[in-house]
């Protein structure tokens, strides 16, 4: 074990390089399958080249298709954001309808919990919404 601190640092460097390469590789694979302009044969060809000539293929892909890769990534993020916003709006909803709000206020008025003036204010607010 004649290693030392420099061997340890070199080991961490190569782990970092390997993890960075895997991140680039998975980004490229995700982009290949996200691209609707490529047909199945071209997708298969890119994947084969990524398997057999990985570093060169990744470099060529990033140079040749890097800008369109960014556009597809932004489009996907916008679609996900729109779907998330729609889901939040659907889940949160507006709550009860104006008729439900007025009925609740009427029951509070009948029970004596609020006055006629408060009922009128709640009714006006429900109708305004």
81 and 31 part of one domain = yes
Q: Output the average pLDDT for the chain.
A: 88
Q: What is the pLDDT of residue 47?
A: 94
Mean pLDDT of 90-116: 81
48 and 26 part of one domain = yes
* Whether residue 86 has pLDDT greater than 90: no
Structure confidence by residue, pLDDT tens digits, 3-40: 789 999 999 999 999 999 999 999 999 999 988 888 99
Domains in the chain, number: 2
Mean pLDDT of 66-89: 90
Q: How confident is the model at residue 101 (pLDDT cuts 50, 70, 90)?
A: confident
Q: Print the domain residue range for 119.
A: 96-129
* Whether residue 94 has pLDDT greater than 70: no
* Whether residue 43 has pLDDT greater than 90: yes
Q: In 3-state terms, the chain is what percent helix, strand and coil (to 5)?
A: 85, 0, 15
33-44: buried (b, 16+ CB within 10 Å) or exposed (e) per residue? eebeebeeeeee
The model's pTM is 0.59
32 and 52 part of one domain = yes
81 and 117 part of one domain = no
- Tokens describing residue 86: 């729609």
Q: What is the pLDDT of residue 126?
A: 83
């Amino acid at each position: 074990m004649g290693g030392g601190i420099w061997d340890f640092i070199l080991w961490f460097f190569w782990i970092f390089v390997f993890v960075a390469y895997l991140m680039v590789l998975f980004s490229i694979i995700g982009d290949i399958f996200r691209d609707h302009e490529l047909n199945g044969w071209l997708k298969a060809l890119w994947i084969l080249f990524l398997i057999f000539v990985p570093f060169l293929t990744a470099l060529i892909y990033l140079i040749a298709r890097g800008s369109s890769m960014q556009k597809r990534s932004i489009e996907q993020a916008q679609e996900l954001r729109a779907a998330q916003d729609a889901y939040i709006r659907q889940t949160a909803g507006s709550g009860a309808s104006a008729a439900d709000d007025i009925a609740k206020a009427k029951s509070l008025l009948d029970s004596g919990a609020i006055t006629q003036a408060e009922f009128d204010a709640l009714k006006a607010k429900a109708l305004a919404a």
